[in-house]
Amino acid sequence: MTGEKAHEMVADGDGIDGDESVVRRDRFSGGPARSFLSSLEADRRIFEADLAVDRAHVLMLAEQGIIEDDVAGQILTALDAIEVDGHGSLPDGEDVHEAIETAVIDRIGDDGGKMHTARSRNDEVAACIRYRLREGVLEAIETTLALRESLLAVADEHRETVMPGYTHLQPAQPTTVAHWALSYEGAVRRDTARLLEAYGRINQSPLGGAAFAGTTFDIDRERVAELLGFDGIVENSMDAASSRDVLLETVQALSTHATTLSGLAEDVVIFANRGFVDLSDDYASTSSIMPQKKNPDTLELVRAVAGDAASGVQGLTTTLTGLPRAYNRDLQRATTHAWETVDAVVEASEVAAGAVATADWNEETLAAEADAGFSTATGVADLLAANGLPFRSAHEVVAVAAETIAESNTGEGDALEAAAAEVLGESLSAFVDPDAVEDALDPAESVASRDSRGGPAPDAIVPQLEAAREARDAHEATRSAEATALEDARVALREEVNGYV
Ligand code: ARG
């Protein structure tokens, strides 16, 4: 410390006379664009965050000897009262930061104006956004974990439930419900991982960046970060006050999850349509005119949330593109894209988890449909190839048989025999045991034989289930440790405040 700085201890203010907002000078107190300028209503979401940020900042100012302890005590007492009164009782202001400061000054007089020493609304709002976003992202992570739980339960229960698998929405090869469910679990697992990674970058404090150019005061940025439960600080003060890439990264991760959800929802809508799955009434809706209808509306809405999330990414990207350094007011409108995306995707993920967890799979219908469209054809070709026929010739034999089956109602066995005669000039039995062909034509046998790593055979599903459970538990442990760290920081901040009030 230089000790020479005139403002090392902020002197008593002279007082600002009689306008409505004690924070704003008359010149900027209003005008026709006042409501356009204001984010006060949208800032409801960061009201608690701003109070926490104010408290941590004031504590640090007092600890550093920048403001007097008794002034800190008065400000902190005022902040408590403002919290009790709630966001709705704030005085008018351009945003929540200004309104809270005005409310503090209204309560304790000019000394309240010391709260804003050594900071700017620029680092303040950046901190509030990160503080509040942490909660939203943890919630999103939690819903992805719940969805994974639902998918794992389905997979566990239906390891051997054979169903048709599709490519191009055409019957392709028999698989199992477990294999299908785990395919989405794998994607949602990566969605969780992306959100956790984003979380690590969100959880850094920009406070102390001030307007962008740092401050002459001897602040302790690490201390403020610690008081707010941040893992570290955003080092460069211009970066700290003006970057919003973590918002974009988060919205992108949420949008990716929404895209995963939309595919899952679409599958379930199709499966419900085909009678493969019955949705619980809780996740269905009916028609206002057609009394017999049970429609998968919840999943259609889940599917549509991908549109909301994509628009969040688009809106945020467009707002941020080309913004010069440092702070620009455009950033005020960037934030709302993130909140809207968090809300929409968290809700969709929760609903998807519930719909999957409560749906009933119709095993008989699935089994009956599992070999529709000669979907065991690839297995037959594999069998012929395993018995020495080049795979391309095997493919040709089965393709000719498939054509016959599609055009007439010849049975699969007969069609294969005729095709072998046509393509190979020999009987199938010259290459392969007829029992083996029969097995290959059976959907359950077909599934059981595809036991390559990651495949649908029940034997191959067991290790996939195990790995999925382990990954889920590890992600849950990380989520819970982060949530606990936030809660601990909240308690610790309160205790520090209690030392002053
Ligand atoms: N409400 C503003 C926002 O959300 C706070 C920062 C205003 N800063 C400024 N220099 N005008 O971005």
> What DSSP state is assigned to residue 112?
G
Q: How many CB atoms lie within 10 A of CB 245?
A: 11
Shared-domain flag, residues 163 and 95: no
Q: Per the confidence metrics, is the pTM higher than 0.75?
A: yes
- Nearest to 182, CA basis, from 149, 214, 221: 149
- pLDDT exceeds cutoff 70 at 11: no
Q: What is the pLDDT of residue 27?
A: 64
Q: What is the pLDDT of residue 5?
A: 43
**Can you read off the two tokens belonging to residue 204?**
């850094």
- Which atom belonging to ligand 1 lies closest to the Cα atom of 129? 4
Query: Among 66, 90, 117, which residue terminates a domain?
Result: 117
Q: How many helices (H) and strands (E) does the chain have?
A: 18, 6
- pLDDT exceeds cutoff 50 at 7: no
Arithmetic mean of pLDDT, 119-130: 98
> What DSSP state is assigned to residue 119?
-
Task: Please tell me the distance from the alpha carbon of residue 104 to that of residue 90, in angstroms, as a whole number.
Answer: 10
Task: Please tell me the distance from the alpha carbon of residue 102 to that of residue 421, in angstroms, as a whole number.
Answer: 91
Q: Is residue 463 part of a domain?
A: no
Shared-domain flag, residues 262 and 161: yes
Arithmetic mean of pLDDT, 193-212: 98
Q: Which residue has the higher pLDDT, 140 or 439?
A: 140
- pLDDT exceeds cutoff 70 at 2: no
Q: Does the beta carbon of 331 sit less than 6 angstroms from any atom of ligand 1?
A: yes
- Mean pLDDT, the chain, rounded, equals 93
Q: What is the pLDDT of residues 331-363, one digit of tens each?
A: 999 999 999 999 999 999 999 999 999 999 999
- Which atom belonging to ligand 1 lies closest to the Cα atom of 125? 5
**Can you read off the two tokens belonging to residue 301?**
């809405």
Q: What is the pLDDT of residues 52-74, one digit of tens each?
A: 999 999 999 999 999 999 999 99
Query: Among 441, 471, 491, which residue terminates a domain?
Result: 441
Mutate to test the pocket of ligand 1, among 332, 335, 337 (most ligand atoms within 8 A of CB): 332
Shared-domain flag, residues 418 and 314: no
Q: Does the beta carbon of 45 sit less than 6 angstroms from any atom of ligand 1?
A: no
Q: Does the beta carbon of 242 sit less than 6 angstroms from any atom of ligand 1?
A: no
Q: Is residue 428 part of a domain?
A: yes
Q: What is the pLDDT of residues 219-236, one digit of tens each?
A: 999 999 999 999 999 999
Task: Please tell me the distance from the alpha carbon of residue 464 to that of residue 458, in angstroms, as a whole number.
Answer: 10
Which residue has a Cα nearest atom 10 of ligand 1? 122
- Domain residues for the domain of 388 are 377-441
Q: What is the pLDDT of residue 29?
A: 64
Arithmetic mean of pLDDT, 373-377: 87
Arithmetic mean of pLDDT, 3-26: 50
Task: Please tell me the distance from the alpha carbon of residue 195 to that of residue 202, in angstroms, as a whole number.
Answer: 10
Cα of 19 vs centre of ligand 1, distance in Å, is 21
Shared-domain flag, residues 16 and 71: yes
Task: Please tell me the distance from the alpha carbon of residue 267 to that of residue 265, in angstroms, as a whole number.
Answer: 5
Q: What is the pLDDT of residue 373?
A: 83
Q: Which residue has the higher pLDDT, 25 or 490?
A: 490
Shared-domain flag, residues 400 and 254: no
Strands 170-176, 204-205: pairing is unpaired
Task: Please tell me the distance from the alpha carbon of residue 9 to that of residue 67, in angstroms, as a whole number.
Answer: 6
Cα of 395 vs centre of ligand 1, distance in Å, is 66
Cα of 319 vs centre of ligand 1, distance in Å, is 15
Mutate to test the pocket of ligand 1, among 119, 125, 323 (most ligand atoms within 8 A of CB): 125
> What is the set of active-site residues?
168, 287
Query: Please, what sign has the CA dihedral across residues 142, 148, 154, 159?
Result: negative
Q: How many CB atoms lie within 10 A of CB 57?
A: 25
- Matching residue, tokens 């949420």: 254
Arithmetic mean of pLDDT, 291-299: 86
Shared-domain flag, residues 278 and 412: no
- Which atom belonging to ligand 1 lies closest to the Cα atom of 327? 10
Number of structural domains (the chain) is 3
Q: Is residue 469 part of a domain?
A: no
Q: Is residue 477 part of a domain?
A: no
Q: What is the pLDDT of residue 13?
A: 43
Q: What is the pLDDT of residues 308-326, one digit of tens each?
A: 999 999 999 999 999 999 9
Indicate the SS3 state at residue 212: coil
Shared-domain flag, residues 196 and 325: yes
Task: With cut-offs at 50, 70 and 90, classify the pLDDT of residue 285.
Answer: confident
Backbone angles phi, psi at 447, to 5 degrees: -65, -45
Q: Is residue 163 part of a domain?
A: yes
Query: Among 388, 423, 441, which residue terminates a domain?
Result: 441
CATH number at residue 80: 1.10.275.10
Residues 6 or more apart whose Cβ sits within 8 Å of residue 322:
none
Shared-domain flag, residues 290 and 422: no
Q: What is the pLDDT of residue 474?
A: 98
Q: What is the pLDDT of residue 21?
A: 61
Q: What is the pLDDT of residue 16?
A: 44
Which residue has a Cα nearest atom 11 of ligand 1? 329
Measured torsion, CA atoms of residues 240, 232, 245, 307, in degrees rounded to the nearest 10: -140
Task: Please tell me the distance from the alpha carbon of residue 498 to that of residue 57, in angstroms, as a whole number.
Answer: 15
CATH number at residue 192: 1.20.200.10
Nearest 5°: the CA angle 233, 236, 237 is 90
Which residue has a Cα nearest atom 12 of ligand 1? 332
Q: What is the pLDDT of residues 476-487, one digit of tens each?
A: 999 999 999 999
Q: Is residue 76 part of a domain?
A: yes
Q: What is the pLDDT of residue 476?
A: 98
Q: Is residue 490 part of a domain?
A: no
Cα of 323 vs centre of ligand 1, distance in Å, is 14
Q: Does the beta carbon of 39 sit less than 6 angstroms from any atom of ligand 1?
A: yes
Task: With cut-offs at 50, 70 and 90, classify the pLDDT of residue 24.
Answer: low
Q: What percent of the chain has pLDDT over 90?
A: 83
Q: Is residue 42 part of a domain?
A: yes
Q: What is the pLDDT of residues 395-409, one digit of tens each?
A: 999 999 999 998 988
Q: Does the beta carbon of 125 sit less than 6 angstroms from any atom of ligand 1?
A: yes
Arithmetic mean of pLDDT, 92-118: 96
Shared-domain flag, residues 194 and 332: yes
Q: What is the pLDDT of residues 457-474, one digit of tens each?
A: 999 999 999 999 999 999
